[in-house]
Amino acid sequence: MLVVMQAHATPDQVRAICERIETLGFRAHTIEGTQHFAIAVTGDLRGIETCGLDEMPGVQDIVRISKPFKLVSRESKPENTVVRFANSDVTIGGEEFAIIAGPCSVESRDQAMAVAEKVAAAGAKMFRGGAYKPRTSPYAFQGMGVEGLKILAQVRERFGMLIVTEAVDNEALEAIEDYADMIQIGARNMQNFSLLKRAGRSPLPVLLKRGLSATLEELLMSAEYIMSEGNRNVVLCERGVRTFADHSRNTLDLSVIPAAHKLSHLPIISDPSHGTGKRDRVTPLALASAAVGADGLIIEVHNEPDHALSDGAQSLYPEQFVNMVSQLRGILPVVHRTLSTEPAKPRATSQAGAQ
């Protein structure tokens, strides 16, 4: 349910309505739009009518949100969400196209630094690298854990890129909050509801990847779990789904991008690395992702992909990444997106362990 305020409603009137909502046992979420200020009411609203809110001063209208996802839906917030990061001018969901690049896993300091140097020079403003890896086999490399996070923090300090890394469970999420700028929730955890709720209480933005067989509605409901706990900075990610196609690791479902934009104000980026599983498909699908309106890309890049401890076959060589970025520059103006030519700037002060 959405309480739409009158244009001239006062902060006191808004506060009184929020208090009333909370007293009734629901949660109030303020939504600042360019046209109207609104308050979304979440909770178990079955059988609830307007709770007298329509009679309160400053209220223009009470609107029922028809979709099962509420805070995530465009009905509650017509304007696109632009996700911002503390102490940085990087955004996801605005005019600037976002590029996150780096290895699947952090394997060593030398490996992370070698990849970071290349992707930063090519224009990536955000660095990815798993310190905790969800692997199909328990015998496969599981990630370096906190040591990997420390390496990622050094990458940030040296190259100025923001750090995106995956939380496989609540314990990892807590550690990540001390070192990184964005929490990735992986495909296998898209419906790990306790992890989603914990991410919803984090001050860091969340990158939520679509589950291997999840529908768009299921993805949006998972984003709703995060938002319902108070975290509004959620970025969706299409990373390919399981189909009967066997020419690629997954099927990158690019049609979900305009569909997600229609239903939700949240940004959505594309992951053609996991979406194809094969290095030679990554650039074509990255360009296609930009063309269908993705807000950005997450790309696996490795300095020695043949020796990678995970996902080598889908990791670009650094020079392929450079080439991909240069081809993207041809497509982006057509879809009214920009891509800065400035490389990320190292931070003046040490940010390791601080936000």
What x-and-dash track marks residues 223-262 binding ligand PEP by CB under 6 A?
----------------x-----------------------
Closer CB to Mn ion, residue 73 or residue 315? Answer: 315
For residue 55, CA distances in Å to 21, 62, 295 come to 13, 10, 40
Query: 73 or 105: whose CB is closer to ligand PEP?
Result: 105
Return the range that interacts with ligand PEP (CB under 6 A); candidates 111-119, 184-192, 322-330, 345-353.
184-192
Pick from 70, 209, 249, 279: which binds ligand PEP (CB under 6 A)? 209
Local structure of residue 53 (DSSP, 8 states): G
Find all residues with CB under 8 Å of 120, minimum gap 6, and list them. 127, 159, 160, 161, 343, 344
Among 90, 187, 219, 269, binds ligand PEP (CB under 6 A): 187
**Which two structure tokens, joined as six digits, stand for 69?**
């996802």
Contacts of 348 (CB under 8 A, 6+ apart): none
Whole-number minimum distance, CB 133 to ligand PEP, in Å? Answer: 7
- Start-end of H helices in 51-192: 109-122, 146-159, 170-177
Binding range to Mn ion, per CB under 5 A, among 99-107, 159-167, 171-179, 259-267? 99-107
Q: Which does 186 bind (CB under 5 to 8 A by kind): ligand PEP, Mn ion, none?
A: ligand PEP
DSSP 8-state assignment for residue 305: G
The stretch among 76-84, 103-111, 153-161, 244-252 that binds Mn ion (CB under 5 A) is 103-111
Phi, psi dihedral angles at 180 (to 5 degrees): -110, 180
Residue 20 vs 210, nearer CB to ligand PEP:
210
Determine if residue 77 is left, alpha or beta; phi over 0 gives left, psi from -120 to 50 gives alpha, anything else beta.
beta
Q: Which of 130, 143, 200, 205 binds ligand PEP (CB under 6 A)?
A: 130
- Our finding on whether 104 is near Mn ion (CB under 5 A) is yes
With beta carbons less than 8 A apart as the criterion, state whether 119 and 301 touch. Answer: yes
Given a contact cutoff of 8 angstroms between Cβ atoms, the answer to whether 110 and 303 are in contact is: no
Backbone angles phi, psi at 301, to 5 degrees: -135, 140
- Extract the tokens encoding 23: 């007293």
Our finding on whether 124 is near ligand PEP (CB under 6 A) is no
- Window 271-310: residues binding ligand PEP (CB under 6 A): 274
The least CB distance from residue 300 to Mn ion, in Å, is 6
- Residue 271 binds Mn ion, judged by CB under 5 A: no
Residue 176 Cβ, how far from ligand PEP at the closest point, in Å? 14
Binding ligand PEP (rule: CB under 6 A), the pick from 5, 14, 104, 155 is 104
Please tell me the distance from the alpha carbon of residue 306 to that of residue 87, in angstroms, as a whole number.
36
Which residues make up the interface to ligand PEP (CB under 6 A)?
Answer: 104, 130, 134, 186-188, 209, 239, 274
